[in-house]
Amino acid sequence: MQLIDCPWCGPREENEFGYGGEAHIAYPENPAELDDTEWAHYVFFRDNPQGAFAERWVHTVGCRRWFNAVRDTVTYRFLAVYPIGAPRPDVPVLAPRASAPAAASPDHDAHAVAALEPTDAR
């Protein structure tokens, strides 16, 4: 189990946190003016990169405060944490790309393995 560095509490075990989806999704200025397709894109469509990804997290069992994090979706490692409203920090992507996904990180956990399972035929 890895530690996540809560901006207010410090390092805590990852099972104290909850995932809140992609960060930096702006609420539409005039939601009533969106058609169904635009609304569906706002509500449901999210990026799904392989590598660094900005996400919202909440320290559910601790301070219960939300924050943003950049997490590598290949290794599951947190690369940076920062307050809501702050710009995404520019962090280097340390993860190896598509080659040897599960074997690339010897200390990976079940979440990382599950995230690497292919869900479609590529």
Contact residues toward Zn ion (CB under 5 A) are 6, 8-9, 59, 62-63
Q: What is the DSSP letter of 117?
A: S
Instruction: Determine contact, residues 102/108, Cβ cutoff 8 Å.
Output: yes
For residue 24, the minimal CB distance to Zn ion (Å) is 21
For residue 69, the minimal CB distance to Zn ion (Å) is 12
User: Of the two residues 8 and 45, which places its CB atom closer to Zn ion in the complex?
Assistant: 8
Instruction: Determine contact, residues 65/8, Cβ cutoff 8 Å.
Output: yes
The span from the CA of 58 to the CA of 66, in Å, is: 4
Residue with tokens 């809501």: 84
User: Of the two residues 6 and 112, which places its CB atom closer to Zn ion in the complex?
Assistant: 6
Q: Which amino acid is at 32?
A: A
Residue with tokens 């393995």: 113
User: Of the two residues 19 and 45, which places its CB atom closer to Zn ion in the complex?
Assistant: 19
For residue 66, the minimal CB distance to Zn ion (Å) is 10
User: Of the two residues 4 and 79, which places its CB atom closer to Zn ion in the complex?
Assistant: 4
For residue 80, the minimal CB distance to Zn ion (Å) is 16
